Amino acid sequence: MNYNHIVIRYAELALKGKNRSQFERRLQENIKMALKSFPNAKIERTFGRMFIQLNGEDHEQIAEKLSKIFGIHSFSLAVKVENELTKIQDGALRALSEILDGKKTFKVSAKRANKGFPIGSQQLNYEVGSYILQNIEGLTVDVHHPDVEVKVEVREVATYITCAVYQGSGGLPVGTGGKVVLMLSGGIDSPVAGYLAMKRGVKIEAIHFHSPPYTNERAKQKVIDLTKVLTEYGGKIKLHVVPFTKIQMEIHKSIPGNYTMTVMRRIMLRISERIALKQKALAITTGESLGQVASQTLHSMHTINEVTNMPVIRPLVTMDKLEVIDVAQKIGTFDLSILPYEDCCTIFLPPETSTKPLREKANKFEEKLEIDALIEEALANLESMEITPGQEINKDFEGLL
Amino acid sequence: MIYLDNSATTKPYKEVIDTYMKVSEMYFGNPSSLHTLGKEAEVLLDQARDQIAKLLKVSKKEIVFTSGGTEGNNLAIKGTALEHQGRGKHLITTNVEHASNYEAFGQLEKLGFEVTYLNVNESGEVNIEELKKSLKDDTILVSMIHVNNELGSIQPIKEVGELLKRYPKIYFHVDHVQGMTKVPISFKDCHIDLCTISGHKFHGPKGTGVLYVREGVRLFSLFTGGVQEYNLRAGTENIPGYVSLAKALRLSMERYVANKNHLFQLREQLLNDLVKIEAVILNSPKNGAPHIVNFSLPGIKPEVVIQALSKKEIYVSTKSACSSKLAEPSRILMVSGLGEERAKSAIRVSFTFDNTIEEINEFVRTLVSIVSQLKEVMR
């Protein structure tokens, strides 16, 4: 392995001024967290770029982690050499030969951030290019469509040579945009909503409504597993499990069938708002998408949304189901989401649901419930846990594996 | 007792047996059951699968539990052939495979598949050029043992993978049963599509194994009747076995990392001592695996040596355990061109991390005295 560094380029460079240093510091923190299991890797930050010194750590595993961190536009494996022509030539040759693998054409793109370096970029292109041509047989230069572009960046203290660029996840570093709570059901949509929210730099806390014994233990485990997948993108995440059985029983008893879904969603939203306030989150994120199911018509959203004036962020609102599935597959939540366990939305599913519920009616029906007391009771029995990236062995199984 | 037959099977670690007992007792639920006991078993199985995936640096979805090396090889070979026969019916393997691989190909020939068996040189290694020439438009599978179980020869898996990478229609299966935790390979770097490992070869329980199935590879399942193991192998999971395998794999890999040179040291010591014995001809190649040493005692029946050694509680073997009860000369040594005399009189010594230099010395001393006694009797 000739590559000894990784060069990281930031996404959304438009963010400048004061925000920029906060943005960069947060990104550095997030990268540090993600690379905790690689103790020898060192992160350095310079203006406009970040560098990871690999110091012998596995570059593939690190690349895999980096590809999931928001705020990175792209990154490259790099060879770091001294600012000296022969060293640069040798470094470029090593960098190229390692990834050549049957490729036939290349070009050199030199850039001098360090104007004190005595050789101009054009001349450097020539010097490095001809050195490579002399040393690798069967290779030709193609300046328009090269198979490999050998980038040579002469910076203040050192020169970095890179040959392949990996796409990052884009977006903003998680933690630069405040906090939201995510209503996480265990279906396909809500984990994707959480992912997209994090992409815009917010931190999330997840809320799940659980109705034992009607909903299986596996349904809760599934949500824990989904949260774990999300932690790969956003670092550790708090998960709040709300005991919801009693509320559902009460709704079932007192509310007409075609309004049970509406009232249930309104109560979930109220509880989420309470948790958000307590956890200092500024918005609620859901996986709702317009027109997908009865509770997600515009009428229905209008009626459900009445109970809170907190912003409700719906990243999927205009997406088609197939688009959502694509993202779910990409981020690794799909296979978990489709595990067929009953959850609190399916178990008490009424025979019919109004697609055009009205606020007045919902309010009238709700008078039959002691909503405040029910909510207090649910909150008092909240189960909160912290989910961290990477699999840990379940306490009960300690010693077995 | 000096146990030097670790290529036949290894002694399970004490910790592994503890795990097996605890899991059998406490987590006996069927992971497919909906109740809490079932769920616990399911989570435990999931964690075992995850641990194995991490150790092998692959994804959890690529780990398919099996009953061991034989099933893994059969599922990989027949599963590929039957699933993809529409694309071609030509298969390639070598003639130094383990019987579980070799005989699967024999069965497929009866079903109308065409099989090319690659030759090996005196070191038991295949030639990449010969492989290249054997590839055809209708080739769908190349299957190869990594570390030969009799000679310890190592096939150039990386080079084969590099070559086959350019043929996306051809699947690459590796029988890694002898190599696991002794001669590590990276499945991804070697572009392997299917890879067999077996628990009892690295101090796990018998009846457990893993077939690595790269994401995107489809196989015809050999056992149907349930959705277990991603529909590839129906049947209630052997939870205590698989959890124990996960533990044995972790412990063995840790021991390999902590003490990489130990097996090489044992091998070197043994080789140095053996060359000094007049009656001995070495069969293992110089660059072979660190845990297998094969040699012949021409003119002496190996069974007699084995019996004499076992009286002193020293255990070695003749050829592969799976075929050692057949009186024929070793097929592997024959096709490697070592001649009938050597193939008839071969003895295999195989180590694990627990063996010591003292044990090797004791083995050699005993062997020398047995050989000289036998020579007297036979003269």
Domain edge (last residue) among B225, B251, B277: B251
* Model confidence pLDDT, tens digit, residues A100-127: 877 889 999 999 988 899 999 999 999 9
Residue from A226, A228, A401 whose CB has the most chain B CBs within 10 Å, to mutate: A401
| Over residues A245-265, mean pLDDT | 92
Beta bridge partners of B66: B209
Of residues A60, A221, A401, nearest to B246 (C-beta): A401
Q: Supply the CATH number for residue B236's domain.
A: 3.40.640.10
Q: What is the pLDDT of residue A100?
A: 81
* Domain end among B209, B233, B251: B251
Q: Which residues in chain A have Cβ-Cβ distances shorter than 8 Å to B23?
A: 400
Q: Which residue among B271, B282, B322, B368 is the active-site one?
A: B322
User: What are B352-356's contacts with CB under 8 Å, separation 24+?
Assistant: B352/B6, B352/B10, B352/B203, B352/B263, B352/B291, B353/B252, B353/B255, B353/B256, B353/B259, B353/B262, B353/B263, B354/B11, B355/B2, B355/B3, B355/B4, B355/B6, B355/B266, B356/B266
Average pLDDT value over all residues in chain A = 90
Quick one: B215 and B278 in the same domain? no
pLDDT for A86 equals: 93
Q: What is the count of structural domains for chain B?
A: 2
* Same structural domain, B237 and B288: no
Asked whether residue A374 carries a pLDDT value surpassing 90, the answer given is yes
Domain termination site, one of B251, B277, B307: B251
Which pLDDT does position A91 carry in this prediction? 93
Q: Is A287 annotated as a binding residue?
A: yes
| Token reading at B193 | 């599509």
Query: By the 8 A CB rule, do A209 and A242 touch?
Result: yes
**Residues with Cβ within 8 Å of residue B300, at least 6 apart in sequence:** B279, B345, B371, B374, B375, B378
> Hey, are the CB atoms on B19 and A216 less than 8 Å from each other?
no
Query: Rounded distance, CA B97 to CA B149, Å?
Result: 9
Q: Do B120 and B269 lie in a common domain?
A: no
A296 has binding-site annotation: yes
B104 CB near a chain A CB, below 8 Å? no
Co-location of B213 and B231 in the same domain: yes
Say if CB B355 and CB B7 are below 8 A apart: no
Residue-level pLDDT at B322: 56
**B221 and B291 assigned to the same domain:** no
Q: Are residues B207 and B228 in the same domain?
A: yes
- Interface check for B245 against chain A (CB to CB < 8 A): the answer is no
| Domain range for B316 | 2-8+259-378
Residues A77 and A54: their CA atoms lie apart, in Å, by: 10
Alpha helices in A12-159 (DSSP H): 17-34, 59-66, 85-99, 121-135
Please give the Cα distance from B263 to B255 (Å, whole number).
11
Summarize pLDDT for A89-104 with one digit per residue, the tens: 999 999 998 888 778 8
pLDDT at A286: 96
| Chain A nearest C-alpha distance from B191 (Å) | 14
- Which is higher by pLDDT, B288 or A20? B288
Distance, CA of B20 to CA of B243 (rounded, Å): 7
pLDDT at B195: 98
Does A401 contact B57 at a Cβ distance shorter than 8 Å?
no
Q: Which two tokens stand for residue B119?
A: 């030759």
Least confident of A37-46, A62-71, A212-221: A212-221
Which residue in B39, B42, B44 is closest to A397 by CB distance? Answer: B44
Work out the minimum CA distance from B10 to partner chain A, whole angstroms. 19
Which of B34, B47, B246 has its CB closest to that of A394? B47
C-alpha pair distances (Å), B363 with each of A88, A175, A290, B88, B351: 57, 64, 77, 51, 12
| CB atoms inside a 10 Å sphere around CB B363 | 21
pLDDT at A14 > cutoff 60: no
Contact A77, A163 (CB under 8 A): yes
Domains and CATH numbers, chain A: 5-167 (3.30.2130.30), 179-387 (3.40.50.620)
Question: How many other β-carbons are positioned within 10 Å of the β-carbon of residue A378?
Answer: 21
SS3 A73: strand
pTM of the full structure:
0.79
Any chain A CB within 8 A of the CB of B165? Answer: no
CA–CA distance, B189 with B167 (Å, rounded to integer): 16
What residues of chain A lie within 8 A of the CB of B22, using their CB?
A: 399-400
Same domain, B170 and B270: no
If asked whether residues B154 and B266 sit together in one domain, one would say no
Q: Which of B194, B175, B176 is nearest to B232 (CA)?
A: B194
Residue B19 to residue A391, Cβ atoms within 8 A? no
pLDDT band (50, 70, 90) for residue A380 = very high
CA distance A401 to chain B (A): 5
Q: What CA–CA distance (Å, rounded) separates B208 from B226?
A: 19
Q: What are phi and psi of B3, to 5 degrees?
A: -100, 110
Q: Which residue has the higher pLDDT, B140 or A211?
A: B140
* pLDDT computed for residue A341 by the predictor: 74
Q: Which residues of A touch B54 (CB under 8 A)?
A: 391
Q: Which of B22, B34, B47 sits opposite A393 (nearest CB)?
A: B47
Contact list, B39 vs chain A (CB under 8 Å)? 216-218, 221
User: Are B203 and B273 within one domain?
Assistant: no
Active site includes B322? Answer: yes
What is the structure's pLDDT at B323? 59
Residue among B327, B282, B304, B283 nearest B375 (CA): B304
pLDDT at A338 > cutoff 90: no
Quote the pLDDT of residue A345: 59
Q: What is the DSSP string of B105-173?
A: HHHHHHTT-EEEEE-B-TTS-B-HHHHHHH--TTEEEEEEESB-TTT--B--HHHHHHHHHT-TTSEEE
Same domain, B219 and B270: no
Residues B160, B122 within the same domain: yes
In chain A, what residues touch B36 (CB-CB under 8 Å)? 217
A183 is in an annotated binding site: yes
Classify residue B12 by its DSSP letter: P
Can you give the pLDDT of all 379 residues of chain B as single tens digits?
A: 999 999 999 999 999 999 999 999 999 999 988 888 888 899 999 999 999 999 999 999 999 999 999 999 999 999 999 999 999 999 999 999 999 999 999 999 999 999 999 999 988 999 999 999 999 999 999 999 999 999 999 999 999 999 999 899 999 999 999 999 999 999 998 999 999 999 999 999 999 999 999 999 999 999 999 889 999 999 999 999 999 999 999 999 999 999 889 999 999 999 999 999 988 999 999 999 999 999 999 988 888 899 999 999 999 998 765 555 666 888 999 999 999 999 999 999 999 999 999 999 999 999 999 998 887 776 5
Task: Compute the radius of gyration of chain B from its Cα atoms.
Answer: 21
Question: Measured between beta carbons, which residues in chain B are less than 8 angstroms from residue A217?
Answer: 36, 39
- Partners of residue A61 in chain B, C-beta under 8 Å: 57
The reply to whether B326 touches chain A by the CB within 8 Å rule is: no
Q: Are residues B286 and B361 in the same domain?
A: yes
Coil/strand/helix, residue B8: coil
Residue B36 to residue A217, Cβ atoms within 8 A: yes
Terminal CA-CA length for chain A: 33
Tally C-beta pairs within 8 A across A and B: 40
- The verdict on a CB contact (< 8 Å) between A400 and B43 is no
At residue A348 the predicted structure's pLDDT band, cuts being 50, 70 and 90, is low
More confident residue, B334 or A21: B334
pLDDT digits (tens, 9 = 90+) for A274-327: 999 999 999 999 999 998 777 789 999 999 999 999 999 999 999 999 999 999
Distance to chain A for B361, nearest Cα, Å: 35
Nearest to A182 by CA among A209, A205, A198, A210: A205
In this predicted model, what pLDDT tens digit does every residue of B337-375 receive, in sequence order?
999 999 999 999 999 999 999 999 999 999 999 998 887
CB contact under 8 A, B51 and A216: no
Within a 13 Å sphere around the CA of A252, how many CA atoms are in the beta-carbon half? 13
Angle, helix B239-258 to helix B36-56, in steps of 10 degrees: 30
Nearest beta carbon to residue A216 from set B23, B34, B43: B34
- Report which of A107, A93, A187 is spatially closest to residue A146, judged by C-alpha positions: A107
Is B50's CB within 8 Å of A399's CB? no
Nearest-CA residue of chain B relative to A400? B19
Closest CA to A57 of A42, A73, A76: A42
CA distances from A28 to A91, A158, A174 (A): 27, 21, 11
Residue in B34, B51, B188 closest to A401 by CB? B51
Q: Which residues pair with B174 in a beta bridge?
A: B144, B195
* Amino acid symbol at B145: I
